Structure 1
Amino acid sequence: MFIQRFLLVFFLVLGCLCKASTHPLTPRIEQLKKDITKLTYEHQFKDAQILVLEYLKQDDLKPVEIFYGYFLRADIRKSAGKSKEAIRLLLESKEYLEPIKDKAIFESLIYGNVSECYFNLHNHIKAKEYALRSIETSPNKSLRGSGHAVNNLILGYSNYKEKNYSQALYSYQEAIKQYKLSGDICEFPLCYNRIAAIYWEQGKLDLAQAALQKSFYISDSCDIDQYRLLYYSALLEYYKYQKNYKRALELSDTIAQLNAVIYNQRQEEQLHDLEIKYEMELTQKENEHLKKSARIKESDNQFQFMVLISSILGLLILLILGLSMLRIRNKKNSLLSNQLKKIEVQNKEREVLLKEIHHRVKNNLQVITSLLHLQANQNSDHSIQNLFKQSQYRINTMAMVHEMLYQSDNLSKIQLKAYLEELTYSLIGSIKDEQQTIVAQIEIPEIIHLGLDTAIPLGLLCNEIITNALIHGIPKGENGKLYIRIKELEIPSFILYIGDNGVGCPKDLTLAKISTLGLNLVQKLVRQLSGDIQKDSSKKGCHYIITFQEVE
């Protein structure tokens, strides 16, 4: 055990020396990193974003300082758990590398963080791709304290999932080397646990057990309960693999106890942080009392009398401090409780108000629809009546969105499947003949939710195509089908397949030259959604393939 602790100290010192030789950053960047780390650790992500934006407003920033500001902006999103948005911001930050001479190390930093984001999204293929790019871009340097250790951990796990065990072992060994160089020897247990899992898969049980033993020694030396838990969890899997269910059952009790210890430690840390905030003012008062006590001790000539007076004063101080602490804590708890109640009431009032706004917008749109209906009835021209009806359909499409938001608990997004189903069946009921049977085949994942800025243009687009299908595509008196299918592509893109099994589109109709208002509107709505539209001539009827993106 002594040798292990000596090696631990040795590697920590070696890591500090290696960290000191990494790429130098300006004092302004180091201070910003320190402030951002503190805020993200306390989950104050909004304040961290504001701090970065204020930093980027400075006029005298160097190119590397400008880049690092945008990079930290993306890193905050990653820390907040918003990996998809972080990937986009990380790749956008590459634009600011052009003026920097030694930019390879920064590109490596970007690719490494993108790899972590994809790994958090369980997209191991992309995570592996960007981890390799990070290492290839700057193989011998890294602005991250542990070098390329994290990249090698991601590569190791990805190769393990692909059953490429030899390459996985190599990656984990490389991760261990990087951790040694940075002095992060306490990260070894994670590597050795994964190495043990590979040896199990290969049937090399002695090597697996040896790797687990190394994991245990280092976890115990570092005195980190989380890594002890990793070791015991891996050992549990080993006993299950060996079908030693008795030892596995005994070990499960140990794991449960360790989980309880870790949970209690976290609770104590949180309680400790709260107590520190409450007792900051009391600490100053306590210091003043201690100074008074020290002066009394210095002025007293009789040792016994001094001890007696000091003891009495100490007891009185502790009693006063205890009573004061209890009173202040109760007062602050009362104030905090009242503030939370006020915030809860305000949130409920805002929610009710926002729902009422959506309801009134829907009602106003319905009033407009009724006025159009009355205006259409006063005109005997059939073509003009159709124009009024099509305007009614479009307004109803927008009104449905506000109605669904009014009825939903989520006031910012609606479920796309429910919205398009209601829209489609409403149009079918309004346009088809009584003798007709129109069937709608709608395939949309229920997990897709979109905001107003995306749902309304998409609904208007579907409204135009479905209306054309019901009026022109499927002959009156004949039965028909409508097809709507949406697939989610790479974030934040989608693809929409929509069409009918009617008589088909006119042969001379091309999307490049459109004369009708409806299809012209479709083209504009597709552009509004940053998408593209194509005709699908391989199926019977009139079909379109539309790609679009969520508007943020």
Structure 2
Amino acid sequence: MVVQRFLLVVFFILGCFYKASTHPLTPKVDTLIQKITKLTYNHRFLAAQKLVLEYLEEENLSPVEKFYGHFLRADINKAAGRATKAISLLVDCKKYLAPIKEDQIIFEALLYANMSECYFNQHQYQKAKEYALLSIQYSPNKNLRQNGHAINHLIIGYSYFKEKNYSAALKTYHEAIKQYQLVGDWCELPLCYNKIAAVYWNQQRYRLAEKALEKSLSISDSCNIDQYRLLSNSTLFEYYKYKKDYKSALDLTGKINALKTSIYAERQSHALHRLETNYEIELAQKENQNLKINAKIEAANNHFQRMIFIGSILGLLCLLTLGAFMLLLRKKKNTLLRKQLQKIEIQNKEREALLKEIHHRVKNNLQVITSLLHLQTNQNNDPKVQNLFKQSQYRINAMAMVHEMLYQSGNLSKVPLKAYLEELTNSLIRSIKGEQQTVSTQVEIPENIYLGLDTAIPLGLLTNEIITNALLHGIPKGKKGQIYLRIQEKEAGTFHFYIGDNGMGCPESLTLNKVQTLGLKLVQKLARQLSGSVHTDHSKKGCHYKITFKKVL
């Protein structure tokens, strides 16, 4: 026992020299680490995080101090059991390595070592081993952690143990022992010997396992560490049971129970102390907070009362002034608005009267042209020339009818399509067939379709050509017949116009692309003007057309 305590002192002194030679941190960082260690030991992780964040807000931090602040954020998350968050923060720490000029690899090795521990806590032993090996590879002789690379070797050894590579595990565990001895951390050796005992046990080298456990117990007693005593005694208990040395196993039972009781009592004592400390801190904080709040409330009440009195007087004056100003302003605006509305109304009436007059004059001028053509027709005895003049009259009448409907209706910009096409059709029947009433009409056009001049006139001329052709050539004189007009709106602004008769029909050889007559050429051109197309239907009696057109905007 004396020899072990002597060795403990020697290793402690050597460890101090080792730390002094591998410690590139600043006093500010050392102080922060001490505070964080104390807080995390007492499970006050939120307070530790707040302390680090306040530290990072300080100005003029050196690159090392800034790096270590972010590293400690990750370390607190690792201590709180949030391994995934800790790994994310450790990866983010890498960007703070670039400004560090000296010992950069030591800090990188520290990052990899902590990432190894995080993966180990997640039971990802292969990844844990990879990062532990990286940590050793980057800085084999220096390390910022108090125990050097000991934990890296323990993680690598356990990974080998899980892989059943027992020889590699033993070698690595012995490397961990060397690291602990190098830094003078003698009291961590029981953990290494317990792991070595587990390897020997799996190799069925029971005597060596027993020796390792006895060594672990001897050091645990020297360091007075109940957790390692319990671990070693429990493993030794299983070993005695395996050897059927029930007396020795029974003797250990009392020790194990006593250690469990001691550890439990110590944990309860720590927990109780933590609760008491937190409770006292919370009470003090609440008391201070209440005193501050009461003082603030009292000062605020006094100030509030004064402000209310002054504010009430000022507010009343402001409201009176504002009210008078608003009334004056509203009166002025209402007067101005009324004058403007009157002016606009007069202008609208003038424009409406002007538009009606224009449409009326255009219609009258077109009728004058029609009358002149009629007189010219009577002066010529050639039936062909007379027919040409009549067709021109029909076309001019189709345009005149649009202007007549516009100035007679309330809407001076749009023509009701159904009324227009009905009136145009009946006018052509009366002009060509007389008053015999031998030709009937079937009009299926929605009442709500209104078209502007740019659409109505081309559509009226197109309809005029088709109906004139039907009345002159399709339905013989004196014979009964029917003309139909049907319009369907397929999409917004796109229409299908079906028009035809039940007369003699169009020649089957009729092709619209090759026609020579002026009327059908006009039909094609007018359809194109309306961004549409014309198709004939020879499947039933008579002459039938399907015209697709769009509103001209």
**TM-score for both structures, normalised by structure 1:** 0.49
